[in-house]
A and B are shown apart, each in its own frame.
Chain A
Amino acid sequence: MLSAEIVLATFVFVLAVAIINHAYSRTLEGALSTTSDYRDVRTYSSLLLDSQGSQPDWDYASHGGRPLTLSSNGSINITKAAYLVALLADDEAATLSALSAGPYKIGIRIAGPDGSPVVADCPGCDCGGRCSVTLERYPAIGSNNIFTTEAPYRLVNSNGAGAGVGQVKLLFYRTYD
């Protein structure tokens, strides 16, 4: 009888310590990173979608050290988006590093008015040998989506010609483990 009580009390005590430790560490992580998460994803989102003025040019082959923006004078360049999607598909880690995206993974979806993802041309098959890329990509499962932004944007081709309007959706994920 006594040994059963000892086992029960020990089990409850260990369980309590484990739960407290788990909850505290998650909460502490949240408290420390909530502000910076919000600020960081806003920064990355604005860099990709809301860049203003003349931006340094970049493509699939030469992106190192250049800001990987998708916007040109307020419009979303779907060829740049194709470069980014192709880069993420071919080497996600290097692309996120080039974006200085820290612990975040990025998802993107650019759809036309009919709701289907836009298929963008890559001049000279410059997207890793692809001549066109479907502008939809999500990171591997196992991440938590912490920020989503979507809005109608004017779309332009690589030559700056208008390509109508579309819904641009950007998602930021972060893994906690």
Chain B
Amino acid sequence: MKNGTGRRGIAFAIDALFAIAVIAVFAISVVPAYPAFSATGDAAPDALSKLSSAMLRSMCLATASELSAESPEIAELYSDGNLTANDSEMTACQLVARLSLGGAESVARARNITAEAYGALIPPATGLAVYANDALVYNSTFEPASPGALHSSTAFVYTYGRAGVAAEPEGPIKMEARAWWP
């Protein structure tokens, strides 16, 4: 009777150990797969794509006059006479592209305009940069050499000028927006 009880005890103990082993195997191999489903990481490239393309499209649709309330730099271009009512249809893309072809002061104005109009709209934990003809105009944060993910959108812009901004129509100028996860 005592031997029988001992054997049963061993059998139950082995059964319990087997059950614990099965739990451990599933905890290691199956459960970690679930967060991979619920995380938004898979959608990250799409979110970056939307960010870079929306940024470029917004810049190429919004006019300088629309953004003058948000950008003191644009307001100053108007007050200095470098932009007039005749430039009301000039887009932010055209203005930034044109300024980026000028000297250091002109490039600084392009950077200020982009920062003032769009800097606060860039989602947190996201980096964004604008380039004109492959030259950096603006970046929200330093672009790492190997970002976690990167998406780039490109548009070609034809621009025109006025005294103080540009002398002749010019283009095409390659405008590029890059978005990344730091």
Q: A residues within 8 Å of B by Cβ?
A: 1-2, 5-6, 8-9, 12-13, 15-16, 19-20, 23-24, 26-27, 30-31, 33-34, 38, 41-42, 45, 49-50, 73-75, 113-115, 144-154, 162-169
Contact = CB atoms under 8 A, between A and B. Distances in A.
B154 interface: no
A13 B15 contact: yes
Contacts of A154: 57-58, 61-62, 66
B40 A146 contact: yes
B58 A167 contact: no
B70 A113 contact: yes
Contacts of B27: 19, 23
Nearest to B54: A151
Interface in B96-126: 117-118, 120-123
B37 A30 contact: yes
B52 to A, nearest CB: 8
B9 A162 contact: no
A45 B50 contact: yes
A49 B8 contact: no
Majority SS at the chain B contact face: helix
Interface in B1-18: 5, 8-9, 12-13, 15-16
Interface stretch (B28-36, B75-83, B157-165): B28-36
Q: Give the 7 A-B residue pairs with the shortest CB-CB distance, closest first.
A: A30-B37, A151-B54, A152-B121, A16-B19, A162-B66, A9-B12, A167-B121
B22 interface: yes
Contacts of B50: 45, 49-50, 149, 151
Contact of A2 (B5, B34, B122): B5
Contacts, number: 142
B176 to A, nearest CB: 16
Contacts of B58: 75, 152-154, 165
B11 to A, nearest CB: 9
A165 B117 contact: yes
A30 B42 contact: no
B118 A165 contact: yes
B117 A147 contact: no
Contacts of A45: 46, 50
B54 A153 contact: yes
Contact of B43 (A23, A38, A165): A38
Contacts of A147: 40, 43
A13 B20 CA distance: 8
Contacts of B13: 5, 9
Nearest to B47: A149
A107 B121 CA distance: 18
Contact of A150 (B15, B33, B46, B51): B51
A27 B33 contact: yes
Contacts of B19: 9, 12-13, 15-16
Given A23-B34, A113-B70, A153-B54, 9 more contacts: A16-B20, A19-B23, A30-B36, A42-B46, A74-B57, A149-B46, A154-B66, A162-B63, A164-B69
B70 A164 contact: yes
B67 interface: yes
B54 A152 contact: yes
A164 B34 contact: no
